[in-house]
């Protein structure tokens, strides 16, 4: 599938833009009716998912490096989520929907559901060795839910989610962001991640969470 060589986030983030704000020139949805942008967002996300390279499940920082979750105000260790189990509604942010799975259909369904979230706006980010979905209630208010998918085998994936950019107590640990800015400047998400990780390494809570994972020293 070809996407014209354009920035992945710019393409995928078209879904939802202007849907409620009426921004000229942007795709929109009306009354829940499917729009071509919705299908495009889904296909873009699935395209990235299917071409992900296999990462080492024992050493990948996407699995073993702690992540700050502004919802819990804690550094969460992704590898603490082990068994993926599909439960609840299409848009349920259940902890059961994290961890390792060999159920390709369940992963594809989860990706498709969030890439076409009817009650929010979705940015799809090609992280190279991971797929990131950022689902926000508004384009112009900070924060949202983040899903990250990595491939750990020919038929195995690891899924992790967290809340980001919403009411952060320390903006160095979790800088606010708006999906509208990501749409206009896709690189800003990667820049945000690099700055966060620099700040995290200086944080005592991050170091405590890191100690829970014996693999972290190999790659951090």
Identify whether the C-beta of residue 160 lies closer than 8 Å to the C-beta of residue 78: yes
Q: 31 in a domain, yes or no?
A: yes
Residue 3 inside a domain? The answer is: no
pLDDT string in tens for the chain (220-residue length): 333 333 444 344 444 443 333 332 232 222 233 556 677 778 889 999 999 999 998 889 999 999 999 988 999 988 877 654 444 444 444 444 688 888 899 899 889 888 887 667 888 888 889 999 888 888 888 899 999 999 999 999 999 999 999 876 778 889 998 887 877 777 788 888 889 999 999 999 999 998 888 665 444 4
pLDDT at 214: 65
Q: Give the pairing of strands 156-164 and 99-101.
A: antiparallel
> Is 27 domain-assigned?
yes
Q: What's the predicted TM-score (pTM) here?
A: 0.78
Question: Which distant-in-sequence residues (6+ apart) come within 8 Å of 196 by Cβ?
Answer: 68, 172, 173, 174, 175
Residues in the chain: 220
Residue 146: name the closest of 195, 105, 182 by CA: 182
Whether residue 63 is contained in a domain is answered as yes
| Per-residue pLDDT at 125 | 87
Single out the residue of 166, 142, 184, 141 nearest to residue 13, CA to CA. Answer: 184
Residue 1 lies in a domain: no
DSSP code, position 28: -
- Using the structure block, give the residue that is written with the tokens 């994290």: 98
Give residue 218's pLDDT: 42
User: C-alpha angle with apex 72: 106 to 145, nearest 5 degrees?
Assistant: 45
What is the tally of structural domains in the chain? 1
Which range of residues forms the domain containing residue 134? 8-218
Whether 16 is in a domain gets the answer yes
> Quick check: is 2 in a domain?
no
Dihedral sign (CA 58, 134, 104, 130)? negative
C-alpha angle 47/50/51, rounded to 5°? 90
Residue 108 covered by a domain: yes
For residue 122, CA distances in Å to 96, 143, 155 come to: 22, 12, 26
């Amino acid at each position: 599938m070809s996407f014209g060589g354009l920035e992945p986030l710019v393409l995928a983030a078209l879904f939802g833009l202007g849907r409620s704000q009426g921004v000229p020139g942007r795709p929109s949805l009306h009354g829940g009716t499917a729009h071509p942008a919705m299908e495009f967002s889904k296909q873009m996300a699935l395209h990235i998912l299917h071409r992900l390279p296999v990462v080492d499940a024992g050493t990948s920082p996407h699995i073993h490096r702690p992540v700050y979750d502004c919802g819990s105000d804690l550094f969460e260790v992704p590898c603490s989520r082990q068994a993926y189990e599909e439960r609840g509604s299409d848009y349920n942010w259940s902890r059961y929907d994290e961890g390792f799975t060999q159920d390709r259909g369940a992963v594809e369904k989860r990706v498709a559901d969030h890439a076409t979230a009817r009650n929010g706006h979705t940015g799809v980010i090609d992280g190279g060795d991971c797929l990131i979905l950022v689902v926000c209630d508004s384009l112009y208010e900070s924060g949202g839910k983040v899903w990250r998918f990595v491939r750990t085998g020919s038929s195995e994936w690891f899924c992790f989610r967290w809340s980001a950019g919403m009411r952060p107590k320390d903006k160095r640990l979790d800088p606010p962001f708006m999906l509208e800015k990501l749409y206009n400047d896709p690189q800003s998400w990667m820049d945000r991640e690099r700055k966060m990780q620099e700040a995290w390494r200086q944080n005592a809570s991050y170091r405590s969470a890191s100690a829970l994972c014996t693999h972290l020293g190999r790659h951090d």
